[in-house]
Amino acid sequence: MAEATEIEQVRRFNRAVTERVGVLHDRYLGRDRPVGEARLLWEIGEQGQDVRRLRERLGLDSGYVSRLLRSLEREGLVTVEPHHQDRRVRTARLTDAGRAERAVLDHRSDELAGSLLEPLNADQRARLVAAMADVDRLLTAATVALDTVAPDHPDAQYCLRSYFTELQERFETGFDPAQSLLPDAGELGPPHGLLLVARLHGEPVGCAGLKLPADAPAEVKRMWVAPQARGLGLGRRFLAELEERAARHGSDRLRLDTNRALTAAIGLYRACGFEEVAAFNQERYAHHWFEKRIAGSPSG
């Protein structure tokens, strides 16, 4: 849980940023619209964007996004049309006037960014830019949501396919899930296990499974993080969540096996308290087996 001093620092930072970048004004960047409408123009972009994805990307409710889009439509900056194959899917696109307005906003955003850096010397600018990159990474990490899903959910299937493709490329022998000890991800559904999917701005960026056998330790399976989401601490977060779920189930140990090609994963397991043990299964793709003692507490 965050400390009171940490919360106060976050609030102080938020106040400084909102004041300095001008989002307190209804006329953001000197234009005739607030920051919400300006951001929506930028997110729609040159190719257009599905309205549902806009909502998920910005974390806004559907009613608010609809009001913003109607305002931009009245100004002739965007059009919103149903998809020709599924009228439930609506796509927002910039008009010529919308693209021109977006270009002006881009230019003025560059000027604003420059005005933040201009008063600083070279060392201060480097420190500020580096700090902003760190804050961006950490805020992005805090945006990732973990949800338990059925193994046949489309997001779960996407993550598993991506995981298998990566293993096929990285393993010396290639990878065929049918030849592994978990040929069917359906075993990661209740009551025998669970599957977590991580989403960033509504898009799946990782998965991690947990087997919960009645007569053996809990076991981590099929843990994968998309390349664009690596460096956000998601692997540690998956392991912590699975450890908690296993403990609630009553397990006192958490196991996993891995391939020697996955050096970063091996380093992560050791850093998270897993110790290498003798082989506890006949997984053909495994070279290392790990185990961690956890504080099990029976569920219910």
Per residue in 186-224, pLDDT (tens digit) is 889 999 999 999 999 889 999 999 999 988 999 999 999
CATH code given to domain 144-293: 3.40.630.30
The distance of Cα 11 from the centroid of its chain, to the nearest Å, equals 24
pLDDT of 82? 87
**pTM value?**
0.83
Contact 48, 93 (CB under 8 A): yes
pLDDT of 300? 47
CATH 1.10.10.10: which residues of the chain?
A: 4-119
CATH 3.40.630.30: which residues of the chain?
A: 144-293
pLDDT of 298? 53
How far apart are the C-alpha atoms of 135 and 126, rounded to whole Å? 14
pLDDT of 59? 85
Contact 197, 207 (CB under 8 A): yes
pLDDT of 296? 58
The segments of the chain whose pLDDT lies below 70 read 296-300
Domain 4-119 belongs to what architecture?
Orthogonal Bundle (1.10)
pLDDT of 208? 98
